[in-house]
Every structure is written in C-alpha cells, then in structure tokens.
C-alpha cells in the first residue's frame, strides 16, 4: 500500500493555519505587514518615476537580455533534438507507442527517421525513470552501457559497429540483419522496433516494481 505524499499534506495544513491566523489577526496583519510592504513598494515606484525613462528602459532591457542569455541551452541543436521526445509515464504509454511505431515502414517513414524517433523515445524513458539529465543518458547509449540487443544498437547507430561492453556482455546475441547499413526489408525494421519497445516495457516494469 502506497503512503500518502507528505509534502502536499503539510502544505495544505500550513496554508489552513495561515488563513485562519490571517482572519483572526487581520488588523495586526494589516498594520505591521501589509501597510509597511505597501509603503515600501510605493517608495520604489516613486523613485522609478523620478528616474529618466530612457535610462530606466535601457537598464531593464540589459537585465532582460542577461536573463535570456543565461537560460539559453548550451547546444541549440541538442535541445531541439531531445526536448520534444515523447516520454510515456506508464506501461499504458508504452502500449500506445506500440500502436504508433508498429508498421511505421508501411507508412512510408525511412529507417533514419524511425531510428531517430526511437532513439528520442528511449532517451526520454531512461532519463525519466532514472531521473538523469538526457545528456548523461545520451553518453551512456553512445558507449552502449545499456543491455540492449546488438540489432537494436545497430538500428539506433547505423554507422557504428556494435560492441560488448562492461557488465552488460551478452552471449548469443541475434545476428545483425544489416546489409550496407540498411535493413533488407521493412518487416525486419518493424521487428527491431517491436523488440526495442518490448525492452522499454520490461525496463519500466522493473523500475516500477523497485
């Protein structure tokens, strides 16, 4: 049985106490809290009015520009590539992606397009389940640190040779069904997509049971 979240309950109790205290001591609250704060902001407003408007707007624009530059992502391409990736929150979400991606070849999508979409989905799932930055998940996948089948790595990274690394060495991996960097048939592409979606579903079940 799951325990009720503590933070929302604590927040609700605190809010009720503050509300009751505000009603009971509204005169004291107005005299010693609201009125001094109002006078303070009124004084700031009067000072701003006394300053030359050109100087005021110049300083405001410089400050806004600083905020924008500070919050810009380090790599715009990486941001666009991975932030919009879908992230299923439950096993039902994975079932939905089964419906979306099954038969993608029949819908006219190229292997490269499907590969990028599947990679984005995989990155989003792992990042959300393990609460990791997507950049770390990308680096781990680049180094093949997750126990995915060799065919899956070959599909996600068609220009890279698959390898066996660290604790995730797997025996009896399925043979690579690649020829000149492309899959022989659309049917094989769908099989690999189905294989990856099954891995994602198993992965999420393991983390949900933990």
Residue 1: inside a domain: no
pLDDT of residue 23: 87
User: Residue 173: is it exposed, middle or buried by C-beta count within 10 angstroms (0-12/13-18/19+)?
Assistant: middle
Residue 188: inside a domain: yes
Helix (H, G, I), strand (E, B) or coil at 123: helix
Contact 120, 85 (CB under 8 A): yes
DSSP 169: -
Question: Do 44 and 82 belong together in one domain?
Answer: no
Question: Do 49 and 135 belong together in one domain?
Answer: no
Q: Which of 109, 103, 115, 90 is CA-nearest to residue 190?
A: 103
**Strand ranges, E, within the chain:** 178-179, 182-183
Q: Give the tens place of pLDDT for each residue, 85-128.
A: 444 445 555 666 666 666 544 456 677 777 888 888 888 888 88
Question: Do 32 and 94 belong together in one domain?
Answer: no
Q: Give the tens place of pLDDT for each residue, 131-183.
A: 888 888 888 888 888 888 888 888 888 765 444 444 344 443 444 444 444 44
> 16 versus 189: which is more confidently predicted?
16
State the pTM of this model: 0.42
Residue 42: inside a domain: yes
């Amino acid at each position: 049985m799951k325990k009720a979240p503590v933070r929302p309950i604590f927040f609700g109790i605190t809010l009720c106490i503050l509300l009751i205290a505000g009603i009971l001591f509204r005169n004291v609250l107005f005299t010693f809290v609201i009125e001094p704060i109002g006078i303070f902001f009124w004084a700031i407003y009067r000072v701003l009015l006394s300053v030359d408007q050109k100087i005021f707007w110049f300083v405001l624009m410089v400050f806004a520009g600083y905020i924008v530059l500070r919050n810009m992502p380090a790599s715009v391409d990486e941001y666009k590539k991975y932030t919009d990736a879908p992230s299923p929150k439950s096993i039902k979400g994975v079932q939905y992606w089964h419906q979306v991606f099954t038969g993608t070849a029949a819908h006219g999508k190229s292997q490269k397009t499907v590969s990028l979409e599947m990679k984005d989905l995989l990155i989003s799932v792992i990042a959300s389940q393990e609460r990791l930055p997507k950049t770390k998940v990308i680096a781990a996948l680049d180094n093949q640190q997750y126990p995915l089948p060799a065919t899956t790595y070959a599909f996600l990274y068609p220009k890279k040779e698959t390898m066996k690394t660290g604790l995730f060495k797997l025996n009896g991996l399925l043979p690579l069904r690649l020829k000149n960097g492309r899959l022989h048939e659309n049917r094989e592409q769908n099989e690999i997509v189905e294989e990856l979606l099954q891995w994602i579903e198993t992965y999420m079940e393991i983390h949900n049971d933990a």
